[in-house]
Amino acid sequence: MKKMKNLLSLVLALVMVMAMSLTAMAGEALPGEVKDSDAKLDDHDYVAYQIFTGTQNDVAGDAALGQIEWGNGVNSAALLTALQGEDAFKIGETNAFDGLTEAADVAKVIAEHSDWALDIARVISNNLTGEGIALKQEGDNLVPEASDVSLANGYYLIVDATEFSETDTNTVRNLALLQLTKEGNFEARVKTDIPSVEKKVDDVNDSDDSENAVVWQDSADYDIGDDVPFQLSGTLPQDYDRYDTYAFTFHDNQSTGLTFNKESVVVTVGAHTVVDGVPVITEHSVQGGYTVVTEGLSDGCTFEIVISDVKTLEVADGYTIQNGDTIIVRYTSELNNGAIIGSEGNPNEVYLEYSNNPNGEGTGKTPEDKVTVFTFELEVEKVDEEGNPLPGAQFTLEKWIDGDDLTTEGETEDGYWKEIAVKDSPKADDPMPKMLFEFEGIDAGRYRLSETKTPAGYNTIDPIYFVVTAEHDVESADPKLTKLLFAQANEMWEIQGKPTASFVPDMNRVGVVTTQVMNQKGVTLPETGGIGTTIFYVAGVILVIVAGVLLVTKKRMSKEQ
């Protein structure tokens, strides 16, 4: 019974046949259809094509069409051939339009099978003739645009003939509607539901596992080398079921600092339901019917998720995609060595290309949605006690990785130190006025800076523990870095009141922080002995020299004698 009611609701201003006549049901609309003066019909162009003509009596509220003939807006022969070639119009093995030639007979079949109205409207829209009658909005009605044109009694197809400009592609055409007219106008019925797209990124703090519940937002910060998780969500329109096929393509454009991992792509369908008054999305995995394209792209995108027809997606559990469902794409990209450091961040965008003509071919494009991934830099300046550059050092930066990982013995580890980078002292001939060790591409978390090689003659510094805190817009069309703090801490991660190291932001490069590390010289020990010993050393040397001279002289004198 419920199914029958749904079928009957598809009648577009016509329903019953009485004495070979078509009668309009005023006020009945398609599910989800908008019927009000705020429908913005002035943004679209509509044209009426007369499909059937006939006579109507003068009784109020009676729009029955009698003496039905073909109208001047349709190619009747081509239409009949098209109707007879559609499997959708079969009753058993026989097409309901087979053998028909007269307009009245065709009209009778249409009226008897009101559940075919949408499909019939599509077929008719492909077999029109002439230019039709241009319409304009007048109150809640559509009337002829030209004042000297009148609408004859009949049955019409109302077609959305809007031409979309290159700068206004985020719109759709309305479904062709069938309507009767008796009063010389049509009831305004429009539904222009537009798909939407959203891109999000998950912000992970790997130094504090307690903060790592998945929260999709518009910004994140990561270390270079990390895999960054992204999510794309494309919501289908509420009139998705009016399309025979529905194309749906995600165009994703990533900055050079991100390397897309094609193998990480996972696609699901989010079904929207309400449980106890709370909206719930239940995801169903998609096992096929889409393509990940990374080569030959002409729009500058990094990759595309191409769904040539949503209706052919292979969804698990036999789920059938409904109006308003969401297509979800999740994947990861590595933050690579080409990443931009600091407040500029590494932006990446997505836009959605979708079917926008339920009567035929055509696509629209949503505006781009943007997220940004940030990463930061620590510069360590090595100096002596007088503040001069001090060569000969080596620093190792490590990050605390939190977690409850099992060891090989079955015990639980609270975490471990992960080596981020080892930096040697710049060479003496490097054109660097300061002795800087640059640790690029770090994010929020807990760190340890150790001096793993100490300049000769100097004492090794104690390890420096510090915490990086970053804040950025979680909901924004253009996410910005709003706060960055480097603070020295102890091994228990409490911020020290009197740190031995200070972290100074670079005012010219937001996101770069410098700390100065000073080495103290080792202790010079006193030497044993005094001046008397030195005199004996000198005298002894002189005596050895004199003895040598006397020996040589004596030998020469002996030879002469």
Q: Is pLDDT at 485 greater than 80 in this prediction?
A: yes
Buried b (16+ CB within 10 A) or exposed e, 367-379: eebbbbbbbbbbb
Q: Which of 374, 403, 437 is the last residue of a domain?
A: 374
pLDDT in tens, 509-520: 889 999 999 988
485 within a domain of the structure (yes/no): yes
- Same domain? For 473 and 560 the reply is no
- DSSP label at 240? G
The confidence score (pLDDT) of residue 226 equals 96
Q: How sure is the predictor about 547, in pLDDT bands with cuts at 50, 70 and 90? A: low
- Same domain? For 44 and 134 the reply is yes
- Average pLDDT on 491-509 reads 80
Q: Which three-class secondary structure state does DSSP give residue 269?
A: strand
Q: Is pLDDT at 538 greater than 60 in this prediction?
A: no
The confidence score (pLDDT) of residue 473 equals 96
- Same domain? For 14 and 132 the reply is yes
Rounded to 10 degrees, the C-alpha dihedral 509/370/230/406 comes to 30
Question: Residue 72's CB: how many other CB atoms inside 10 A?
Answer: 14
- Average pLDDT on 286-312 reads 93
- Same domain? For 474 and 534 the reply is no
Q: Is pLDDT at 345 greater than 60 in this prediction?
A: yes
Degrees (nearest 5) of the Cα angle 396, 397, 400? 135
The confidence score (pLDDT) of residue 30 equals 29
- Same domain? For 335 and 208 the reply is yes
The confidence score (pLDDT) of residue 316 equals 92
The backbone torsions φ and ψ at residue 544, rounded to the nearest 5 degrees and listed phi first, read -60, -40
Q: How sure is the predictor about 477, in pLDDT bands with cuts at 50, 70 and 90? A: very high
- Same domain? For 429 and 503 the reply is yes
Contacts 24+ apart (CB under 8 A), 160-166: 160/44, 160/45, 160/46, 160/359, 161/45, 161/46, 161/47, 161/132, 162/43, 162/44, 162/45, 163/45, 164/356, 164/364
Q: Is pLDDT at 348 greater than 80 in this prediction?
A: yes
Q: Is pLDDT at 302 greater than 50 in this prediction?
A: yes
Q: Among candidates 307, 286, 299, 293, which has minimal Cα distance to 349?
A: 299
- Average pLDDT on 441-447 reads 94
- Same domain? For 501 and 532 the reply is no
Extended strands (E) in 387-531: 394-406, 412-424, 436-442, 445-453, 464-472, 481-489, 503-505, 512-518
- Same domain? For 212 and 267 the reply is yes
- Measured between its terminal Cα atoms, the distance across the chain in Å is 150
The confidence score (pLDDT) of residue 553 equals 61
Q: Which of 132, 157, 187 is the last residue of a domain?
A: 187
Q: Is pLDDT at 353 greater than 90 in this prediction?
A: yes
Q: Which three-class secondary structure state does DSSP give residue 104?
A: helix
- Average pLDDT on 528-549 reads 54
- Average pLDDT on 266-282 reads 88
pLDDT in tens, 217-252: 999 999 999 999 999 999 999 889 888 899 999 999
Regarding predicted confidence, which is higher, 411 or 377? 377
The confidence score (pLDDT) of residue 4 equals 34
- Residue 407 CA to residue 313 CA, distance in Å, equals 42
- Residue 317 CA to residue 320 CA, distance in Å, equals 9
The confidence score (pLDDT) of residue 169 equals 77
User: Please, what is the average pLDDT of the chain?
Assistant: 82
Q: Among candidates 519, 524, 336, which has minimal Cα distance to 425?
A: 519
Q: Among candidates 402, 400, 447, 470, which has minimal Cα distance to 222?
A: 470
- Same domain? For 383 and 469 the reply is yes
Q: Is pLDDT at 536 greater than 60 in this prediction?
A: no
- Same domain? For 48 and 135 the reply is yes
Among 117-131, 427-441, 487-501, the range of highest mean pLDDT: 117-131
CATH of the domain at 405: 2.60.40.10
- Residue 74 CA to residue 81 CA, distance in Å, equals 13
13 within a domain of the structure (yes/no): yes
75-89, 356-370, 407-421: the lowest-pLDDT one: 407-421
The confidence score (pLDDT) of residue 340 equals 96
- DSSP label at 88? G
> Which residue segment(s) compose the domain that 339 sits in?
196-374
The confidence score (pLDDT) of residue 558 equals 57
Portion of the chain with pLDDT greater than 90, in percent: 51
Q: Which of 187, 208, 235 is the last residue of a domain?
A: 187
- Burial of 58 (C-beta count, 10 Å sphere; 0-12/13-18/19+): exposed
Q: Which three-class secondary structure state does DSSP give residue 186?
A: strand
514 within a domain of the structure (yes/no): yes
- Average pLDDT on 391-400 reads 94
- Residue 281 CA to residue 325 CA, distance in Å, equals 9
75-89, 411-425, 491-505: the lowest-pLDDT one: 491-505
pLDDT in tens, 135-153: 988 888 889 999 888 888 8
- Same domain? For 236 and 358 the reply is yes
Describe the strand order of the beta sheet including 464-472 as a list of residue ranges: 412-424, 394-406, 445-453, 464-472, 481-489
SS3 content of the chain, % helix, strand, coil (to 5): 15, 40, 45
Q: Is pLDDT at 24 greater than 80 in this prediction?
A: no
- Same domain? For 182 and 206 the reply is no
Which distant-in-sequence residues (6+ apart) come within 8 Å of 532 by Cβ? none
How many domains, in total, are found in the chain?
4
Regarding predicted confidence, which is higher, 291 or 175? 291
CATH of the domain at 359: 2.60.40.740
297 within a domain of the structure (yes/no): yes
Q: Which three-class secondary structure state does DSSP give residue 170?
A: coil
Q: Is pLDDT at 508 greater than 90 in this prediction?
A: no
253 within a domain of the structure (yes/no): yes
Q: Is pLDDT at 8 greater than 50 in this prediction?
A: no
22 within a domain of the structure (yes/no): yes
Q: How sure is the predictor about 286, in pLDDT bands with cuts at 50, 70 and 90? A: very high
pLDDT in tens, 304-341: 999 999 999 999 988 999 999 999 999 999 999 999 99
Which distant-in-sequence residues (6+ apart) come within 8 Å of 538 by Cβ? none
Q: Is pLDDT at 480 greater than 50 in this prediction?
A: yes
Among 14-18, 176-180, 226-230, 492-496, the range of highest mean pLDDT: 226-230
Regarding predicted confidence, which is higher, 522 or 173? 173
- Average pLDDT on 364-370 reads 94
409 within a domain of the structure (yes/no): yes
Q: Which helix (H) or strand (E) holds 541?
A: helix 531-560
Q: How far is CA 370 from CA 141, 202, 442, 479, in A?
A: 40, 14, 22, 8
The confidence score (pLDDT) of residue 185 equals 86
- DSSP label at 298? S
Amino acid residing at 283: E
The confidence score (pLDDT) of residue 61 equals 66
Regarding predicted confidence, which is higher, 187 or 513? 513
523 within a domain of the structure (yes/no): no
pLDDT in tens, 251-271: 999 999 999 999 999 999 999
**Helical segments of 24-96, H only:** 76-84
The confidence score (pLDDT) of residue 6 equals 36
- Average pLDDT on 473-487 reads 94
